[in-house]
Amino acid sequence: MIIVTGGAGFIGSNLIWALNQRGESNILLVDHLANGRKMHNIADLNIADYMDRTEFIEQLESPGFLNGVRAVFHQGACSATTEWDGQYVMKNNYNYSKRLLQCCITRNIAFIYASSASVYGNGEHGFRVDRGCEHPINMYAYSKFQFDQYVRRVLPETTSPIAGFRYFNVYGPREQHKGAMSSTAFHFNRQVIEQKKAKLFEGCDGLANGEQKRDFVYVDDVVDVNLWFLDHPKQRGIYNVGTGKAETFNTVAQAVIDWHKEGCIEYIPFPEHLKGAYQSYTQADISGLRLAGYTKDFLTVKQGVAKYLDWLNLGVR
């Protein structure tokens, strides 16, 4: 059996979809469906069972509970960067992850988990998997960073397959439940359909309008990295998962407009509350992935947005 925590979420549901394409359906989906709209992410998936997160955590150390499990994809977390209840965040993101990791180590189960590029804070020290670059600036980022630190301490003490991924700006199918936190590609698509224009922030930090850059990575590429490490259990550690190439918001908006063959870009005032607290640039250093042996090219924004809109607007994947 394979376990996917956060399996009804964005990346988790795409992981299960990809496992289904491999013929895998002996999957336990763990989630917390307080937001029942996430069921749309999993209605077309084939799984063996569903378990609520609370029940799953309660049973973790029960004798025989994880017998027959060969891998855990741990995607579940409180992902709200605006959540400042530190006890809640650390309980759900740090303590839960530690317990699950230890259970997997005890049984030599592959543990593949989601970290986050948010551990780099404002990115002023770069985006390398290196302690000198890591400076989280919210509780979510701190919880992810602290678990990475725990993994760093544990790795030399075990031979169990353990891999953590610092996701950059992921976009693609099954993210619509995220609402305002959905990707810019998702929002630009809606805007072009409804208003014939994509709305971008004016320039900031000395940059021209819409020229802020992020490392936008398509969710299928993220999933492919996860599955590659499942297939290569000797590769262990913490890795950035992005394309390694920053592209502008203008590029994303233009890719959406090109797909629709209509529309224009409109620049709106940069929000006052974001000034001084906005990432104008992110770019993953993916040298660790390449050293591990992962050689596949990542989709560009133009390629990924076209593929995404085929699914979003036409249902084609």
Positions marked active-site: 140, 178
Q: What are the structure tokens assigned to 120, written together?
A: 């780099």
Name the DSSP class of 208: P
Rounded CA-CA distance 282/109 in Å is 33
Give the span between the Cα atoms of 219 and 172, in whole angstroms: 5
- Contact partners, residue 143, CB within 8 Å, separation at least 6: 77, 78, 89, 90, 92, 93, 94
Nearest alpha-carbon partner for 89 in 28, 12, 148, 147: 147
Tell me how far apart the alpha carbons of residues 195 and 188 are, in angstroms, rounded to a whole number.
10
Q: What residues does 213 pair with on adjacent strands?
A: 248, 281
Task: Provide the 8-state DSSP code for 258.
Answer: H
User: Residue 199 in 3-state DSSP?
Assistant: strand
Q: Are 277 and 204 in contact (CB under 8 A)?
A: no
Q: Which two tokens stand for residue 62?
A: 């029960």
Report d(CA 59, CA 64) in Å as an integer: 10
How far is residue 39's CA from residue 187's CA, in Å, rounded to a whole number? 21
Report H helices in 108-235.
139-154, 184-195, 219-231
